[in-house]
Structures are given as C-alpha cells and as structure tokens.
Structure 1
Amino acid sequence: MSLLLLLNCAVTSAQSASQATFHWFDYQGRDPVFTEPLGRGQYQNPLAAGFFPDPSITRRGADFYMAVSSFAYTPGLPILHSRDLVNWQLVGHALTRPSQLDMSGLGISRGIFAPTLRYHNGLFYLIGTAVDSGGNFILTAADPAGPWSDPIWLPPIDGIDPDIFFDEEGRVFITHNGPPPDEPLYEGHRAIWLWEYDAAARQVVAGSQQLLVNGGTELSREPIWIEAPHLYKHQGWYYLLCAEGGTGYNHSAVIFRSRSLDEPFEPYGGNPILTQRDLDISRPAPITTAGHADFVQLADGQWWAVFLATRAYQQTYYNTGRESFLLPVSWKDGWPHILPAGQLIPYRTDKPAGLAPVPVSDPLTGNFNWRDDFNDTQLDSHWSLLREFDRSWLKLDGHNLRMQAKPVGLDSLAQPAFVARRQQHMHFTASTALNLPEQGISAGIAAFQNETYHYYLGVRKQGTAYQVFLEQASGAKPRQIAARSVPDTDGKLRMKIAGDAGQIEFFYAVGEGIWQSLGGSQDARLLSTEVAGGFVGTTLGLHARLEQKDE
C-alpha cells in the first residue's frame, strides 16, 4: 500500500510539473466598420463575424437556426440561434463525441465541409460531408442545441456539400456536388446530382441517381466548381440554388429551376444572383468572395438569404475567415434575386419587417469584449480544439484552466494542447495571464491559421531563469524569431496579441508590470487565406508544449 501511494504521488507530481495554468482569457474587437451605432430599424452585416462559413438556415415556428462548416475543429458543426433573424448566438454543436466521427491526423482544412440544416415534422436534420473521415452523413436531433445522433452514413454519394429536401408529397431527396458524368473537360468541371432518400430505411434509394447540372450555368464557358446545392419548391417550380466560381474572389450564387425533378433544370439568364467580383477591387472596406447561399421563408411569406462573404484588407487579404451575411430575397418573373449586379453588399440595412428585435447576451457581430475567467467546470462553447474530441489533458477547477503539456506543437497533425476561439475582427487584442511553468514545458498564447502558418508567444524555464520567446511558422516548420529573459517576480506572466489588419504584435508583462513588445510588428498576412490557403479563419488561444531537452 505504501509503495502504491508513493507511485501515485510520483505520477501526480510529474503531471503537475508538466501542467500549464491559465487564469483568464480576454478578447476585444475594435473594427472601424462597427463603431457607429446602428440606425433605427437596421441590422449589422456580417451576422456572424469570423470563421462561420457556409451557412445553412432553417426555421421552426418563430425560431431560426443556422449550421456552419467547422473543418477539423472540434466540437464540430456549430449551431446558431436567433428569434429575429439578425441577432444570433452560438447554442451548441452537432458533433461532440468520438462515436460520431474520427478526424485524427487531418489537416485543418479537411474534416467537415458545408452542411445543410433542415426542420421537418418535429425533427432537425443535418446533412454534411466528413472529408477523408467517412464521407457523407445525416444527423438528427429533437433539439438543435443537442444532443445529435450518431451519423447515418451515405456510402453511394460521391462528392461534397449535400442538401436534403422534403417534398410536399412525402418524398425525400439529396442533392450534392460530384464528378461530372464523363471525364472532366477542364479544371474545376463538376456536376450537381440528385438521389432519392428512404428516411424509414435510412438509406439512399438504389438506382435513383439523376444529373441535374453539368458544369454550371453554361458549360461552353467552362464555369468552375459548381457546388453547395440547395433545393426548394415555390409556386409550382423546383429551384436549385448553387455556388459557382470557386471560394475566392470570383465566388457567386446562381439559380436554376424546373417544373419537375425528372426534367432538366434551366439556369436563370440573369445569373449570378449574388457576387462581388464585378466591383472595383480597390474599393474601401471591401466585402468580397460572396456566394454559397441558403434561403429561408418567414411565416408572413418573406424570403431571406444567408450567405458567406469575407471582409478584406489590402484588397484580397482576410484573416477572419469566411463569415455569414444576410440579405432579403425578392421575386421577379418567377426568379429569386439577392443583389443586383454591381451593387455593394451593405454593412447595414433594414431589418426584416414584422420581427421584433431580440438581443442576445453573447453577440457574434459588432465590436464586443469577450472574457473567460474559467470560473466554470466546463469549457465555454466558444472554445475549439483541433481534430480530436479528447479533453483529458485539460481541466477547469472553477478558477483556472489547467492544461497538460503535450510533446506535439501547433505544426503537428496530432492534437496539440491548444484551446482556441475565433478571431472575429481585423483589429483586436487577445490576452491572458498564466503561471510561469516548470522546467521542460512552454506555455503561452497563439494566433493559428494552420499547421504551417501561425505564431506562438511562449515562456519556458531555462535553469533558474525564464525566457519569453516568439515563434513564427510561415509555410514551413516554426522558427524562433525573438526571445528575451524575464525575471520571476511573483510567478505570473501576462501575454497579449494585438492585431491590426495586416500587422500583428506580441507583448508580455511580468506580474502587474507594464506591457513590453517582443519582436516588434510582424506580418499578419501569413495568417490570411490568401497566403496560407485552405478554408478556415485565424483562431486565437492558449497552448502548452513539452520542450525538447536541448532547449
């Protein structure tokens, strides 16, 4: 018994020595486009600032819900809720446990691609794609805040961005992006396919596959990346809303229609019904890459569209990822219209008529301050992890976040000890306070875009002294670009990241001392999609790492 107690004490002591303790995390956004008060009866675009891409929307009575892509972040598939269509709040996630999905070893822009969220006969349905980790699937839930079911996998479907549509006759259909019927004619040549789905048997109906769109709006012009289909029925017509042009500057939304799902879909002659690619690229405060839309009809018959777009600096750079926006839909000559050609997406415009404002306690847009004092025993829903659902390495004790350092860093395809929240503003500060760590580990704050593009401001013990250091990963392995010795005054250190569009700076303060810059102003463009590639936005958070012995 004595030996067992000694062994347990030794294990506990070793774990404590490799543990980082954080006391709080504070995030403040201060974008100029959000500074002026909203006009009477107006709402703010984007609805959800930061990395909330590929929005899909549904309505249950007076409640609206959106689901967005999450790629290789966990928990996956964020669920947003609103009562007035303009004030949104994060209420849960659909993917919360390892029995649903395994994304271990994936790059950050793999995993969960664009979902579709629908409500039908008392049940919510989420259909999506787990790229490199299972394929297409359906989840169901009685409450969209969760819990959600384990996936129903759809093995016949080859492609991404599936949609589920419930016909008034009781039939269910799935549309999705997939390979064209023959060999691709050019780079980006894709197609939209339709399948019937047997909800009772929970499987795709064999032999039901049909081609709806080959290539896009006009095959002879070689349109690229037709994707993100959503199917609707309105006044006797079936409408197919898709994204076209790729996810970059030429992104757009296009519309097709047909009298029957057994007949060809014709494209609208005025396509695209949403884009910003035809505007002056040097315009101030640009909203760009608009497309990938979804429609919702209100109880009084109004139609509105949610869609993704980005807020750029220096014309084409954006670190905040693809965000969710809202605009009204008008109908003319049997076709839906979101935005006339050449017109700017407004940052502020009139709210939906007839919906009383319902403010939320935790807003997703505008300038705000978000703080976590770690005074709960569960991690706040705004925090995300990488790839895996495992949380055994972190603990909240009601006062602090304690994080067990791991031997892998932010450049690894394993799960590092890293908790992150979205960067939702071009101009922001993110700060924390932590205990100075024991020998053998580093701990600190990071700005993360992906495995090969990120910054890490850390502190480690070297002999009897401490060193604050700054690492940069810019398309390769991280390298140290600045370091400074710091005294151990009271065992605590504060750290801060200050972002200013294409510039970023890192600070530290010993105890309650003044902030000191480490490394000066750095290039934040390496955290942009333009440089780093992929489909995610920058996240900001806390990291702990076991250090190599030669350090």
Structure 2
Amino acid sequence: MKYKNPVVKGFYPDPSVCKVGDTYYLVCSSFQYFPGVPLFESRDLINWTQIGHCLTRESQVQLRRVNSSGGVFAPTIRHHDGRFYMTTTNDTTHQNFYVWTDDIRGEWSEPIFVDQGGIDPDLYFENGRAFFMSNGMDDEGSSGVVQCELDIETGAKRSPSRTIWQGTGGRYLESPHMYKIDGRYYLMAAEGGTEYGHMVVYARGDSLHGPFESYSANPVLTNRDLGGYELQGVGHGDLVEDGNGHWWMLHLGFRQIGRWLTYHHLGREVFLTPVTFGEDGWFTAGHDGITLTSFNTDRIPDTVVQQEKKVYTFGNTDWNLDWSYLRHPAAENYTLSVDRAVLRGTDVTLDAASSPTFIGLRQKDFDATIACEIELSGGEGEAGLTLYMDENHHYDLALRRGSAGCEAILRLNVGDIKSVERRVALNETRTTKLRIRSGHERYHFFLVQGDREIAMGTAQTRYLSSEVAGGFTGVLIGLYAVGEGTESAFVEFECAYA
C-alpha cells in the first residue's frame, strides 16, 4: 500500500513509540501547553487516534510563568512488566522525571524525579533492572549520552551517571534511545539541531554500557541536503518492530511553506519511515537515507486505508483531547459543551507568558478555512480568533468593546511590532461571524455580515514560523477572551482543510 507523510499532522514533535500486543502507543512533546504529553494509539502505524495525555494535573508538571517553548520537552514511552512509563524533562525547572500507569486510558502517577541532568530522557529495562539515559553531563563532568541505573520504584540512582557515547561530532546531540536487537545493543540519537541540519545517527555495541561503534554511513536518516524539498528537519526518531520482523522509525520533521521558502509554521510533525536491517546487523532507513512524502510498501496490507480528518468542529472534537490551554488554566473561566464555548476574560492578554483565557486547536495543514460566530457580552474587552505561535507572534481577529462602542479588529503581533491593521465599527454584537482563509504563504481575514464578507486584511505565514519567532512549537488556532467581566460565547466553530 501507499501511505503519505506526515502520519500525525501539526505541532506534535519529538515522537516516541512502543508496542504492546497488537497496539502501538505514541507520545509527543507539549512544551508550555496543558494538558501535557499527548498520547496516541494505532493498530497499523499510519492511522493514529489520540486517547489522552500523560500529564493532566497541575501537581504533575510546573508550567506557571513558563516561557513559550519551555516546559515539557521530548518524552519517551516504554512498557515493562504490565506497566507503562513516560519519562520527560521540564526544561524550565531543569528536572527529569517519569510517571507511570497500569491503565493506558486512565490517570498517570505523580512524578518521580531522577537526580540526573540533561534533556530527552530514555528508559531501558533488562533482567529486572531499569536504566536511565539523557543527553547532558555525567558525574565526572563529561558530556554526551549519560546513563545510570535506577530504582524504578523511587527514582533513586543505583549507580553513578556515566557518559557512554558522545555521538558522531554533530552539534546538539539529543534524543538518545537504547534497544537490544539480536543480542546487540543499539544506541540511536539525533544531531544537527532540530532545524534544517537535523539528522538521525546511531551506534552499536556488545554491552549496555558500551563501548559503542558508530555506524560508518551516519547519518542513517536526514533530509538536510535536499534544497527545495517539502520535507525538512528530519530527526529525533524512535524504533519499533511491527511483529512481522519489520522495523520502522517514527520521527519528527516539518513541511516548509514553499519549495524555495524556507519557513515552517505548522510545527514539527510525526513521520513514519521504514527501517531495514542488513545481514551484517547494521540498519538503513528510508529511501537512501531520506524521508519521503509518501512510501509504497508491502509491509502494510493493501486492506489498510489511511484516513484523514478534514473538518474539525466543536461537535466532532473532544475538549480534553484535541484542544489545549496555555499553561495551567483557571477552570472557572471556561464553560465548554458539545456546541458552544463560553470564555470569561481576565486582565491577562495573549502577550503575557502566563495563562490568558485561551483554548487552541493545532493547525494541521496549510490550506484551510476557519470560521466561528461570537456573542460578546459584559464589560469592556475583546474576544476572537487568534493564530498563535507564541506571546510575541500571533494574529488576532476579534470583536472589541470599549467606551465608544463595539468594533471588529485585525491585530498583527510580530515581535515588538503590534499593529491594528483595520477597524470596522459594529452597530450591535449579538452574533458576529469571523472567518480566516489560510494558504501556504498568507492568511486572509474577514468579518462576515449576512452573505457579505468584509476583508479585514492579510498577513504572511512566515512571521509565525519558527525561523522568525524561534522556539519549538507551531501555530494553534485559538479562541480567546480578554478583559475583566467580559464573557464571550463561541458558536458554530469550524476548521475545514482543503
């Protein structure tokens, strides 16, 4: 069959995967968004359904005053002795920790902290023992992939932290994962930075603790030299075997907005690439070490059909799965139902590294039409749609009520430049419809009155890209309200992809 990449679209970076029985489970980074660490399942590796989050309580993760792209970094999911474990880093507090559950659809434990620094932690189990790895510095001051043995019940170290591999020389060594395959230990990681030079590298050895011999043809997977190719930034992968002797890599990558336009704003997404072991025990990945927009493979039966959801509404999304808050929300400011979202504003704006009244859905493709109707009531304030990259980079199409009356506005926020591009006075605000048309290179904003569209303006997508804004996230389509006493009801929301 032929499948298309990415297999999970939108801002779902740093994937990690494990297989239990006939089901695959996958987790991704969430940074400053809450709930933390989205959790997916699949039976065929190409159709993924979100079933929860690993971090659903404020007690599990500290996100208050966390800057954009801080907070929860690259997680790893593993299964051992009937229990699931997810380990991750809160990069803002500089703490590695893990949580566990015996019910993949239930609640996860309180965090168990590990006294080892670095980022991108990994757990490996063997013969009743647990080993922890991260990319950082060991107890002797040596940097690289650092390993220690853990008491899995308490998180206490049972051995010193020791550097076991220092990579192949590429910058920003990260994302270490350990596997035992056919009696050998394979240590896979990423280098080059999670940008256009990103790559997957690996080494192998006869001992869990090394020494490790690097694969002679590293990087095993990268799109770094493909100028003008849609898929870029390929790296940070995790291996999984499908039960039929075939190996796969789930990894991140991103789609740039145009062939020669090196910007991406949808975030880093999840890609699936076939892996093949040779007779010598070394493996290769993809098409000559490259990830493609689609793969023809006989590893997945032709009876499997890759599904793609094209329309997202209040009615066909789950507030607890598909939508995200900025940091820890004040629950009393949200009343969410199957066909309506009532948001109560505060004095916290979208420009603050705090928790404004905001709930967002990841933008999953370039071409889309986004629309909703808003009823604005209460005191002075505003409510509307935002295309949100971070507190310094977002485009807001909103209704605003002040002492002089009510108006519709388009505000563009790019770094220190915050400009209201257009204002349209409104006679009444009982129900007003807003619409955004999205393309690869531009967003187009409209106020809708009856059958008439009033153009509010346009804005380039590149100014919401990681190349301009920095950071590791992607655009969320947000509903928001600002202003003490302001209450807004969002009705008939729809995001339809072409």
TM-score > 0.5 by shorter chain: yes
Is 2:147 aligned against 1:194?
yes
Distance 1:43 1:145 in 2: 28
How far the C-alpha of 1:350 sits from its partner, in A, is 2.4
Aligned partners of 1:98 and 1:389 also within 8 Å: no
How far the C-alpha of 1:210 sits from its partner, in A, is 1.8
How far the C-alpha of 1:112 sits from its partner, in A, is 0.4
How far the C-alpha of 1:542 sits from its partner, in A, is 0.5
Residue number in structure 2 paired with 1:469: 409
How far the C-alpha of 1:461 sits from its partner, in A, is 2.4
Aligned partners of 1:437 and 1:443 also within 8 Å: no
| Backbone CA RMSD of aligned residues | 2.3
Residue number in structure 2 paired with 1:123: 83
Distance 1:400 1:548 in 2: 19
1:195 aligned counterpart, secondary structure:
strand
Distance 2:404 2:368 in 1: 35
Residue number in structure 1 paired with 2:435: 496
Aligned partners of 2:223 and 2:232 also within 8 Å: yes
1:530 aligned counterpart, secondary structure:
helix
Is 2:125 aligned against 1:173?
no
AA of the residue aligned to 2:236? H
AA of the residue aligned to 1:171? R
How far the C-alpha of 1:337 sits from its partner, in A, is 1.2
Distance 2:389 2:409 in 1: 19
1:526 aligned counterpart, secondary structure:
helix
Residue number in structure 1 paired with 2:490: none
Of 150, 159, 168 in structure 2, the residue corresponding to residue 217 of structure 1 is 168
Of 455, 470, 476 in structure 2, the residue corresponding to residue 539 of structure 1 is 476
- Residues 355, 79 of structure 1: alpha-carbon distance in 2 compared, 3 angstrom cutoff: farther
Distance 1:224 1:428 in 2: 36
AA of the residue aligned to 1:173? F
Residue number in structure 1 paired with 2:489: none
How far the C-alpha of 1:501 sits from its partner, in A, is 1.4
How far the C-alpha of 1:170 sits from its partner, in A, is 2.0
Give the structure with the higher percent strand: 2
- Residues 127, 289 of structure 1: alpha-carbon distance in 2 compared, 3 angstrom cutoff: same
Of 352, 361, 370 in structure 2, the residue corresponding to residue 430 of structure 1 is 370
5 Å-filtered alignment, 1:500-539, equals 500-510=439-449, 512-519=450-457, 521-539=458-476
Percent of residue pairs bearing the same amino acid type? 33
How far the C-alpha of 1:58 sits from its partner, in A, is 0.5
Residue number in structure 2 paired with 1:137: 97
AA of the residue aligned to 1:163? D
Residue number in structure 1 paired with 2:240: 296
Aligned partners of 1:60 and 1:119 also within 8 Å: yes
Distance 1:464 1:202 in 2: 59
How far the C-alpha of 1:486 sits from its partner, in A, is 2.1
Distance 1:180 1:203 in 2: 16
Residue number in structure 2 paired with 1:419: 359
Residue number in structure 1 paired with 2:52: 92
Provide Cα deviations, 1:83-139, integer angstroms capped at 9, x if missing partner: 111111111001111111121001120000000001111111101101123611111
Provide Cα deviations, 1:170-214, integer angstroms capped at 9, x if missing partner: 221111100378889xxxxx5111111112444221x43221122
Distance 1:368 1:202 in 2: 43
Is 2:11 aligned against 1:51?
yes
RCO comparison, higher one (Cα < 8 Å, 6+): 1
Distance 1:127 1:304 in 2: 21
Distance 2:7 2:183 in 1: 31
Aligned partners of 1:191 and 1:212 also within 8 Å: yes
Distance 1:387 1:42 in 2: 39
AA of the residue aligned to 1:501? H
How far the C-alpha of 1:444 sits from its partner, in A, is 0.5
How far the C-alpha of 1:398 sits from its partner, in A, is 5.1
Aligned partners of 1:97 and 1:389 also within 8 Å: no
Is 2:263 aligned against 1:307?
no
Distance 1:356 1:396 in 2: 38
TM-score (norm 2): 0.92
Superposition misfits of 4+ residues, deviation over 4 angstroms: 180-184, 340-344
How far the C-alpha of 1:531 sits from its partner, in A, is 0.7
Of 117, 140, 143 in structure 2, the residue corresponding to residue 158 of structure 1 is 117
2:331 aligned counterpart, secondary structure:
coil
How far the C-alpha of 1:149 sits from its partner, in A, is 0.7
5 Å-filtered alignment, 1:77-116, equals 77-116=37-76
Aligned partners of 1:85 and 1:352 also within 8 Å: no
Residue number in structure 2 paired with 1:72: 32
In the alignment, structure 2 segments of 5+ residues that lack a partner are 487-498
Residue number in structure 2 paired with 1:147: 107
AA of the residue aligned to 2:445? F
TM-score (norm 1): 0.83
Greater Rg over alpha carbons, structure: 1
Paired residues, number: 483
Residue number in structure 1 paired with 2:209: 262
- Residues 230, 104 of structure 1: alpha-carbon distance in 2 compared, 3 angstrom cutoff: same
